[in-house]
């Protein structure tokens, strides 16, 4: 179906949207169009009460007994079980622990050790920097014996050869929103004997992912973006069951031990996914992550990930069409793929003048349309289908056109770069 060409059609779309009730599960400030849920998801309604209970009853009253009575000790696995269906995994292949970067370090070290004859970590030059920094840090720690081979996104398939130990790739690019074919690249990696680590930071909760069907090896992802787990939320990791015995990771903390409460001096890795845990889980953060994932799982009865994906594509199609109609000749260049299969859940435009791109985003934020700027020249708009409406995409495009046409961005207040963009 072509995107709406009148605002009334957007209102009709929203009225008929099977996912419409899900919007009520989030706290969305009046007058704000929130297009930054790919950076920090909004607050789910149930989260405040869950945290209050965890603080006041579980911690405040029941104290240390809550490790058993409130199931704190099992929390990383319990939340993993809630998340697993969203990424096509079995519950015992996932843990909700640590942060994306830390999980990546653990899995990258595990993967490299599983291919001792090979030297190359293959990744993308434009990958999210923390992924590259973690690979660089690991390599330094290993005495520089590895090679970090960085290629353009289009060149990944050709760069896979028998020197590659592991391909460390981000499925949806944070800048341009392009989406890689996870199953195809995984199969190509396996053909040359390489392992894969997928970063699902911009995929989990935004589009259907089927790690098991793709025979993916490892994956990590973020709790505070489309999973709405709150600032600095606990992240997740995935290890395919067939690797559970062979894979070991260097952060061999006590809670990854086979019997942590035996308190023996020798480390012995827990069987299964448990060895990928390091420390006592951050309970408050993980409870908020659980609330975020549970909130998203309310979509299960409303069409599930398939419905979320269909709506995400409808909203991004609509936004692209409206911006191209209203902003023609105003300096925006679409960098997000038009082809659905190659698009994540965001729309990005580049501008020749990076400072202008930054200021345009600031002017939009001042109007209550919250997107973000990504250096050097990208305006980025995330379309989380769980709570956004067609009318939001319509109105956001209208605001963008007004900011550009009136030169509203061109004022010192908007041209001054803040620490967090």
Ligand X SMILES: *Cc1c(COP(=O)(O)O)cnc(C)c1O
Whose Cβ is closer to ligand X: residue 3's or residue 230's? 230
Closest approach, Cβ 42 to ligand X, in A, equals 16
Whose Cβ is closer to ligand X: residue 3's or residue 229's? 229
Whose Cβ is closer to ligand X: residue 83's or residue 401's? 83
Is 218 catalytic? The answer is no
Side-chain half-sphere CA neighbours of 71 within 13 A: 9
Q: Which one of 77, 118, 175, 225 is the catalytic residue?
A: 225
| Strands, E assignment, 50-194 | 94-96, 120-124, 147-151, 164-170
Q: Which one of 105, 128, 174, 238 is the catalytic residue?
A: 128
Whose Cβ is closer to ligand X: residue 125's or residue 268's? 125
Closest approach, Cβ 107 to ligand X, in A, equals 13
Q: Which one of 36, 131, 176, 199 is the catalytic residue?
A: 199
C-beta atoms surrounding 111 within 10 Å:
24
Contact 205, 296 (CB under 8 A): yes
Closest approach, Cβ 103 to ligand X, in A, equals 8
Closest approach, Cβ 130 to ligand X, in A, equals 5
Is 153 catalytic? The answer is no
Of 60, 79, 73, nearest to 233 by C-alpha is: 79
Q: Which one of 26, 34, 105, 224 is the catalytic residue?
A: 224
Closest approach, Cβ 420 to ligand X, in A, equals 12
C-beta atoms surrounding 263 within 10 Å:
8
- What's the rounded Cα separation, in Å, for the pair 407 and 368? 17
Contact 190, 179 (CB under 8 A): no
Is 238 catalytic? The answer is no
Is 106 catalytic? The answer is no
Is 226 catalytic? The answer is no
Contact 374, 386 (CB under 8 A): no
| Residue 359, φ and ψ in degrees, nearest 5 | -65, -35
Closest approach, Cβ 31 to ligand X, in A, equals 27
Whose Cβ is closer to ligand X: residue 131's or residue 217's? 131
H helices of 84-229, where? 100-113, 129-141, 156-159, 182-191
H helices of 241-353, where? 283-297, 304-326
Whose Cβ is closer to ligand X: residue 58's or residue 103's? 103
- What's the rounded Cα separation, in Å, for the pair 20 and 356? 35
Q: How far is CA 31 from CA 299, 311, 369, 404, 408, in A?
A: 25, 22, 9, 21, 19
Per CB under 6 A, residues contacting ligand X are 99-101, 128, 130-131, 170, 174, 199, 201-202, 222, 235
Known catalytic residues? 128, 199, 224-225, 380
């Amino acid at each position: 179906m072509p995107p709406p060409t009148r605002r009334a059609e957007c209102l009709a779309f929203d009225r008929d949207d099977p996912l419409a009730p899900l919007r009520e599960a989030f706290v969305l400030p009046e007058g704000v169009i929130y297009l930054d849920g790919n950076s920090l998801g909004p607050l789910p309604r149930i989260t405040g009460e869950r945290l209050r209970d965890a603080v006041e009853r579980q911690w405040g009253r029941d104290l240390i007994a809550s490790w058993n009575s409130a199931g704190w000790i099992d929390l990383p696995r319990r939340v993993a079980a809630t998340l697993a269906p969203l990424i096509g995994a079995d519950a015992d292949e996932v843990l909700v622990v640590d942060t994306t970067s830390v999980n990546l370090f653990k899995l990258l070290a595990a993967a490299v050790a599983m291919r001792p004859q090979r030297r190359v970590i293959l990744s993308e030059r434009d990958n999210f920097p923390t992924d590259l920094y973690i690979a660089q840090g690991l390599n330094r720690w290993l005495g520089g014996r590895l090679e970090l081979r960085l290629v353009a996104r289009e060149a990944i398939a050709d760069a896979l050869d028998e020197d590659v130990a592991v391909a460390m790739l981000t499925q949806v690019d944070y800048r341009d929103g392009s989406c890689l074919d996870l199953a195809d690249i995984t199969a190509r990696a396996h053909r040359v004997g390489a392992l894969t680590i997928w970063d699902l930071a911009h995929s989990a909760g935004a589009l259907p992912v089927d790690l098991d069907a793709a025979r993916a090896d490892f994956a990590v992802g973020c709790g505070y973006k489309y999973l709405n787990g709150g600032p600095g939320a606990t992240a997740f990791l995935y290890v395919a069951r067939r690797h559970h015995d062979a894979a070991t990771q260097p952060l061999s903390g006590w809670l990854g031990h086979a019997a942590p409460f035996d308190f023996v001096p020798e480390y012995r890795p827990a069987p299964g996914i448990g060895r990928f845990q390091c420390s006592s889980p951050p309970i408050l953060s993980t409870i908020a992550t659980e609330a975020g994932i549970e909130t998203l799982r309310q979509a299960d009865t409303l069409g599930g990930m398939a419905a979320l994906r269909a709506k995400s594509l409808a909203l991004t199609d609509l936004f692209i069409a409206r911006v191209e109609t209203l902003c023609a000749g105003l300096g925006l260049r679409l960098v997000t793929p038009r082809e659905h299969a190659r698009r994540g859940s965001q729309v990005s435009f580049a501008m020749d003048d990076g400072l202008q791109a930054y200021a345009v985003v600031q002017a939009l934020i001042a109007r209550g349309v919250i997107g973000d700027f990504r250096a050097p020249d990208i305006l980025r708009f995330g379309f989380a289908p769980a709570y956004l409406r067609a009318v939001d995409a319509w109105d956001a495009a209208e605001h963008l056109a007004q900011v550009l046409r009136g030169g509203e961005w061109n004022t010192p207040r908007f041209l001054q770069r803040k620490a967090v963009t």
